[in-house]
Amino acid sequence: MSPISSSAPSFLARACFTFSAATACKDQVMIFDYALGGIVTVGLLVYLVFALVRPERF
């Protein structure tokens, strides 16, 4: 049985409980990676659309 009850919010149900730094939770790191990748992707998309619409500035 999970140490967190079934009535807990879903973000608590996926909490990472580890006993050492060597077995650290990868989910929290991946969330940062996905967020950073999303920000870079959106920035690149905005840049490319702007360069397509206003090519004389480039």
Query: 5-15, pLDDT tens digit by residue?
Result: 555 555 445 55
Mean pLDDT score across all residues of the chain: 75
pTM: 0.51
Please report the pLDDT score of residue 41 as a whole number: 98
pLDDT given for residue 30 in this prediction:
87
The one-character DSSP state at 14 is T
Give yes or no for residue 39 having a pLDDT over 60: yes
Residue 47: exposure state from Cβ atoms within 10 A (0-12, 13-18, ≥19): exposed
8 A C-beta contact, residue 13 and residue 2: yes
